[in-house]
Structure 1
């Protein structure tokens, strides 16, 4: 009986995070603190820019997911500056275009997300949170292309700058440099 329970635990632990590598508490706290500092900085500056320009939309909802990649997985190809900035921006442009062309949201959402993924593949800027940017554009009925540049592109660029400064100050090289 005991061997059976141990066997089942080992066999099915994979489905409950058993495949995740160990991360030290120091690294967990470094990543979490970086996301806190980076997001606070980006949100504060974006809000000020939005108020200065008279624009209500100053934040993109998927920025938290982008922050996870930039601060917790800075070595990932999907967390590099081109992937974050271009992936989010092209996805916003595609989502806005689909909103304009396809009026039915239930049809527009999967089309926008799938075309955003295709666009990211073509431009070599895969960034998983960016697929959500296309969905956000559809769900928010965003029909002005300015949204792709502010807040999406500007917030993404500010997140990258904050991530680079924070990571390099705390001993993590970011962005990755070609070898």
Structure 2
């Protein structure tokens, strides 16, 4: 029989793999540099075009996956870019069709997940994009392309440059 401590420790992170400090710092510093560059570029592009929305908050979660888990299928460019963009499009469409956010929000997340499965672009933070769009009452399809698609593409580019400079292959190469 397992000691009670081991059983409970599992539920408090005991199932997480041990990660060397160098890798922890490499991932955190990459997210810092990558997000700073993405946000600065997106803000600049937004200012150029007179657009105030230049940031999607779920980008932080996407950065964790891209910089800390670059080999994950959910960190690959298609997953990050298509998953986020699809989810924004689903949320915006539901804002036009359904007036009640209590119905539209779970539907947006569920339909985004279904769409990501169908398009083979599963990216967990993208489901949050669908919720963000519905809760923010976003009605303009432009939002799916700027900031969502642009932010995701910039993050993938920053992730590719940083990962390859620090010895991690990203994106995955076809087998």
Q: Same fold (TM over 0.5)?
A: yes
Flag the structure with larger Rg: 1
Could you tell me which of 70, 74, 80 is aligned with 1:74?
70
Q: Deviations over 1:122-152 (max 9, x none)?
A: 0000000000000000010000000000000
Q: Structure 2: which 5+ residue stretches go unaligned?
A: none
Aligned counterparts of 1:49 and 1:142: Cα–Cα separation in 2: 20
1:48 paired with 2:48, answer no
What is the Cα deviation at residue 153 of structure 1? Answer: 0.2
1:164 paired with 2:160, answer yes
Give the match's secondary structure for 1:26: helix
Aligned counterparts of 1:21 and 1:107: Cα–Cα separation in 2: 38
Give the match's secondary structure for 2:163: helix
What is the Cα deviation at residue 13 of structure 1? Answer: 1.1
Could you tell me which of 123, 139, 143 is aligned with 1:143?
139
Query: After the TM superposition, which segments of 4 or more aligned residues of structure 1 sit over 3 Å from their partners?
Result: none
Match of 1:21 in 2: 17
Aligned counterparts of 2:42 and 2:173: Cα–Cα separation in 1: 28
Q: Structure 1: which 5+ residue stretches go unaligned?
A: none
Q: Deviations over 1:63-96 (max 9, x none)?
A: 0000000000001000000000000000000000
Aligned counterparts of 1:61 and 1:100: Cα–Cα separation in 2: 22
Aligned counterparts of 2:167 and 2:121: Cα–Cα separation in 1: 25
Match of 2:118 in 1: 122
What is the Cα deviation at residue 11 of structure 1? Answer: 1.5
How many residue pairs get matched?
A: 175
Aligned counterparts of 1:68 and 1:11: Cα–Cα separation in 2: 28
What is the Cα deviation at residue 178 of structure 1? Answer: 1.4
Give the match's secondary structure for 1:175: coil
Equivalence map 1:79-98=2 (5 Å): 79-98=75-94
Match of 1:30 in 2: 26
Aligned counterparts of 1:31 and 1:170: Cα–Cα separation in 2: 10
